[in-house]
Amino acid sequence: MNPAIPNAKISAALFAKAKTLIPGGVNSPVRAFRNVDGDPFFVRRAKGCRIEDVDGKTYIDYIGSWGPNILGHAPTILTHAIHEASKDGLSFGIPNPHEVEMAQLITSWVPSVEKVRMVNSGTEATMSCVRLARGFTKRDKIIKFDGCYHGHVDSLLVAAGSGALTCGEPDSAGVPKSFANETIVLPYNNVERLEETFAAMGEQIAAIIVESYPANAGLVFPQPGYLQLLRDLTAKHGALLIFDEVMTGFRLAKGGVQELESLSPDLTAMGKVIGGGLPVGAFGGRADIMDQLAPDGPVYQAGTLSGNPLAMVVGLTQLRELEKRNGYSQLDTLGKHLEDGLRGLLTEKGIPHRINRVGSMFCLYFIDRDILNVDDVVAQDFNIFKKFFWSCLDQGVYLAPSPYETGFLSLAHTIGDLDDTLTVMSTALDKI
């Protein structure tokens, strides 16, 4: 039992048992609380913006299942949709009308997406984008950026190499060196390295894949003109631009970051919000590129549960509810309230910090310099973060159990919830 979670006897027993049955006791690594030197708690139920653990303690949640629960946990409109859809079946492995509705909604909300294919996870979406880009361009090399995570795809689990033109090194056991040799890893927001790489290898590069706003090393924003440079360089050299909007798509705006930045990538990977909390992903883009997919083209991609009616109905219900409630404006108001309140506390207490926020996504860094890439993220004071995390958790506020993760607000949060959270954070900051 972790001392920061008093009386967590049932969670402790479950975790002990889980470790004998599941690698590390968890089904996704960040859940193990290794970045905060502790053990996780187990959740029994969730409703609105609150989660309840198996020992009966309740927390205000700022994770929302890592982004998809933009209406909050178990909103009645979604649970009703699941119930009604389930009466007609959970999966057919045959086309159903709901996947056509979803495709129509996505293509109408995201102008760069002329055709779209559903998959079951963000990882499937990014993997498919990379394969499709290689098949379309008939080139092999991919550029990604250090600190950007695109799921556990072999060719994208690659760490930075030692120089501008060196390919990356495998970032996980089990990834062949030959895969990493086709991936060039560059520092995000570094114009010189990007231009140098294209000047030397432009004709070999199939695509750039980028988290349009990197949200897996905290939350990092592009410098002015940086995303436009990616668009210009790929167009000039015949490469494709892939926006990974699995986190940002349909959370920040109907058209995601590309709407906010007025840019049109060639391909887009999507997920999270379009599933309403159920497993889902999608990828889409220019029709001439998407038409290279089987059965029309030579690039193979398939999935038994892709476009299953349950996920499609729930996702459509969530997206339409967001639109009906003018959700993005409300979420930005909530985000600004939390950001302004937290910044005021940190300034008043004289604690070095940076807060990066856009709409309902936010990240606090305990550092006194701007965050331009992953090097800045890892330079923050992790010990302060750990103390802050555990103190907030002890008082009933659940933040991401890692300084590398982004926080999420939902329409279920109220100003009162945020004010209660700020009170907790003030106490936690006094203990640092």
Active-site residues, by number, are 149, 244, 272
How is residue 16 written in tokens?
A: 């002990």
354-358, strands of its sheet edge to edge? 354-358, 361-365, 407-408
Tell me the C-alpha distance between 301 and 171, whole Å. 25
State how beta strands 240-244 and 205-211 pair: parallel
| Complete edge-to-edge strand list for the sheet that includes strand 50-53 | 43-47, 50-53, 58-61, 397-398
Paired strand residues for 270? 282
Q: In the block, which residue shows the tokens 């996870």?
A: 121
For residue 142, count other CB atoms closer than 10 A to its CB.
28
| Strand 397-398 to 58-61 pairing | parallel
Q: How far is CA 233 from CA 13, 159, 229, in A?
A: 54, 23, 6
